[in-house]
Amino acid sequence: MFDYQAPSQLLSGKIILVTGAGDGIGKAASLTYAKHGATVILLGRTIKKLEAVYDEIERNGNPQAAIVPLNLDGASEHEYLELANTLKSEFSQLDGILHNASLLGDRTELKHYDPTLFDQVMRVNVMSQLMLTQALFPLLEQSPAASIIFTSSGVGRTAKPKWGAYAVSKFATEAMMELFANELTDSNPNIRANAINPGATRTAMRASAYPNEDPQTLPTADDIMPLYLYLMGKDSLTINGQSINAQ
Ligand code: NDP
């Protein structure tokens, strides 16, 4: 596991948006960021799940969260700008984005891959990250030190058979992270971009990709949080353009 012990108030006063905040790793990251002092903006498509995370943050006595319902599949530029305007009216800056939401798609060879599904996976896993980052850029620029974290995968580095659109989307995610990191170095040195490869983690997506695996043998989303904290906080200020394993 990535070795980092976060100070208890590492993210105190920070405003952080997490996509796919209602379940799996995104839920764990939202609860963890809030526990370390951040105001977390919970973005996702299933409001009931977001409300459950919101309530848990409240029960824990952590800074009040905000809920942003958005289906990343096909959201228009206008919807992203509206979202940015809503956040601008509530918050003066944004200190972090965790791009976490993803679709698995089918575990099928490319020659049989349904183009409609391929397109959907690319919209949710790739396009949404570009449009969300662009829309929120003016708010990121207001932060003295903003961190954008992308979520990669082992198949974002080696395209193993039958990982289809998901693998293509994770290679694209790695490229998008590197582009932002390299371009921002000169123009916006207060904003850094990195990627996390979570590794095999006990979530619904993992269970659907590996139905015959015993989930109890896998680390939980809570177990992999040290890297999520490290890259969001001040101890990683000099880290930019890196793709790092959480395990
Ligand atoms: P889950 O399937 O458990 O969670 C995915 C989250 O993304 C859910 O909250 C889901 O919302 C949300 N989401 C999916 N589609 C949309 C959409 N159209 N609009 C808004 N939100 C959406 O996955 P994990 O927690 O396992 O995965 C988190 C990240 O980690 C992903 O990027 C994944 O690729 C990556 N990863 C995970 C690994 C693992 O072993 N678990 C390994 C390597 C990488 P809802 O609940 O409403 O469907």
> Over the stretch 7-25, which tens digit does the pLDDT of each residue have?
999 999 999 999 999 999 9
Q: What is the 228 CA–ligand 1 centroid distance (Å)?
A: 15
201 vs 223: CA distance, rounded Å: 9
Give the fold, CATH level 3, of 15-245: Rossmann fold (3.40.50)
Q: What is the pLDDT of residues 11-62, one digit of tens each?
A: 999 999 999 999 999 999 999 999 999 999 999 999 999 999 999 999 999 9
Q: Structure pTM?
A: 0.98
Q: Decide if 230 is catalytic.
A: no
pLDDT at 120: 98
**Local confidence band at 74 (pLDDT 50, 70, 90 cut-offs):** confident
How close is the Cα of 186 to the center of ligand 1, in Å? 32
Pocket test for ligand 1, best of 17, 18, 19, 25 (most atoms within 8 A of CB): 25
- Cβ 44 under 6 angstroms from ligand 1: yes
Residues contacting 47, CB < 8 A, separation 6+ = 67, 69
The protein residue with its alpha carbon nearest to ligand 1, atom 23, reads: 205
Which value, in Å, is the radius of gyration of the alpha carbons in the chain? 17
202 pocket-lining for ligand 1 (C-beta < 6 Å): no
Residues in the chain, total = 247
Q: Is 125 in the pocket of ligand 1 (CB under 6 A)?
A: no
What pLDDT digit, counting tens, does each position of 99-135 carry?
999 999 999 999 999 999 999 999 999 999 999 999 9
Task: Tell me which of 166, 210, 228, 230 is the catalytic residue.
Answer: 166
HEC string of the chain equals CCCCCCCCCCCCCCEEEEECCCCHHHHHHHHHHHHCCCEEEEEECCHHHHHHHHHHHHHCCCCCCEEEECCCCCCCHHHHHHHHHHHHHHCCCCCEEECCCCCCCCCCCHHHCCHHHHHHHHHHHHHHHHHHHHHHHHHHHCCCCEEEEEECCHHHCCCCCCCHHHHHHHHHHHHHHHHHHHHHHHHCCCEEEEEEECCCCCCHHHHHHCCCCCHHHCCCCHHHHHHHHHHHCHHHCCCCCCEEECC
Q: How far is the CA of 129 from the centre of ligand 1 (A)?
A: 13
Predicted local distance difference test score (pLDDT) of residue 88:
97
Percent of the chain clearing pLDDT 90 (strictly above): 100
Q: Is 105 close to ligand 1, i.e. is its CB under 6 Å away?
A: no
The closest-lying atom of ligand 1 relative to the alpha carbon of residue 101 is 7
**From the CA of 220, how far away is ligand 1's center (Å)?**
14
Token readout for 18 is 């997490």
Within 13 Å, how many C-alpha atoms sit on residue 22's CB side?
16
pLDDT tens-digit readout, 166-178:
999 999 999 999 9
Give the residue, by CA position, lying nearest to ligand 1 atom 9. 20
> Measured from the CB, is residue 198 less than 6 Å from ligand 1?
yes
What's the distance, Cα to Cα, between the start and end of the chain in Å? 4
Domain ranges of the chain: 15-245
